[in-house]
C-alpha cells in the first residue's frame, strides 16, 4: 500500500503541472494563447488610436512551416533578441518559418479615421531559436482583398473568414 501511494503522488503532481501549463498558455474559449494576445494588444495600442480597430476573427494556421518573410511587410514586437521595427540594430534576424502562426482579421470600428484601414490581416507568429521564444506580430504584405492574399492564407492553411 505504501508503494502505491509513493507512485500515485508524483503522478498526480505531474498531471496537475500539465494542467497548469495548458491553462497558462491558452485561454478557455479556444482563442489566442495569452502571450500572443498580449503582443497583439501591444501592437494595437502602438499602431492605432484606442477603439479604432477591433479583432473580428482569429484562426490558427495549420501549416506554419510554410510562412515566409515574403508574406510580411513589417514585424512588431518588443523582443530583445529578434529584429523588429522597434529594435533592429544589433539583434538577430527573425527565424523563418516560425513554430506557430495565428491569422488575425482586424476591422475598423464605427469611427472613420484616415490612418485606420477598413480591414487588415495580421499574422501573430511564435519565433524561436535555441535560447529565445517571442511572439511577433507581422503585417501582411498583401491586402486582404487581393487574390495573392487568398493564396497566402491557403498556403499556410489558415481558415480565416474575410467577410
| Least confident window among 51-60, 106-115, 133-142 | 106-115
Question: pLDDT tens, 110-135?
Answer: 655 555 567 899 999 999 988 889 99
| Cβ atoms of 97 and 70 closer than 8 Å | no
List, as one string, the DSSP characters of 74-87: EEE---SSB--SS-
Nearest by Cα to 43 from 33, 34, 28, 53:
53
Residue 90 included in any domain: yes
Q: How many CA atoms lie within 13 A of 21 on its CB side?
A: 6
Residue 60 included in any domain: yes
Long-range (24+ apart) CB contacts under 8 A made by 24-32 are: 31/58, 32/58, 32/102, 32/104, 32/124
Provide the pLDDT confidence category of residue 5 given band limits of 50, 70 and 90. low
Residue 82 included in any domain: yes
Into how many domains does the chain fold?
1
Range of the domain at 96: 31-156
| Cβ atoms of 104 and 40 closer than 8 Å | yes
d(CA 21, CA 40): 21
Residue 21 included in any domain: no
Provide the pLDDT confidence category of residue 32 given band limits of 50, 70 and 90. very high
Residue 24 included in any domain: no
Question: pLDDT tens, 67-105?
Answer: 999 999 999 988 888 888 766 666 888 899 999 999 999
What integer pLDDT is reported at residue 114 of this predicted model? 57
Amino acid at each position: 500500500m505504501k508503494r502505491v501511494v509513493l507512485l500515485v503522488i508524483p503522478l498526480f503532481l505531474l498531471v496537475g503541472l500539465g494542467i497548469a501549463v495548458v491553462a497558462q498558455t491558452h485561454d478557455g474559449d479556444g482563442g489566442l494563447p495569452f502571450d500572443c494576445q498580449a503582443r497583439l494588444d501591444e501592437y494595437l495600442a502602438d499602431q492605432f488610436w484606442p477603439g479604432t480597430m477591433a479583432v473580428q476573427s482569429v484562426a490558427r494556421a495549420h501549416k506554419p512551416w510554410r510562412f515566409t518573410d515574403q508574406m510580411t511587410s513589417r514585424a512588431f514586437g518588443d523582443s530583445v533578441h529578434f529584429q523588429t521595427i522597434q529594435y533592429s540594430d544589433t539583434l538577430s534576424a527573425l527565424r523563418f518559418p516560425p513554430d506557430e502562426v495565428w491569422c488575425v482579421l482586424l476591422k475598423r470600428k464605427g469611427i472613420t479615421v484616415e490612418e485606420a484601414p477598413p480591414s487588415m490581416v495580421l499574422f501573430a507568429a511564435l519565433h524561436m531559436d535555441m535560447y529565445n521564444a517571442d511572439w511577433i506580430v507581422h503585417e501582411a504584405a498583401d491586402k486582404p482583398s487581393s487574390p495573392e492574399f487568398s493564396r497566402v492564407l491557403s498556403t499556410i492553411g489558415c481558415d480565416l473568414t474575410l467577410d
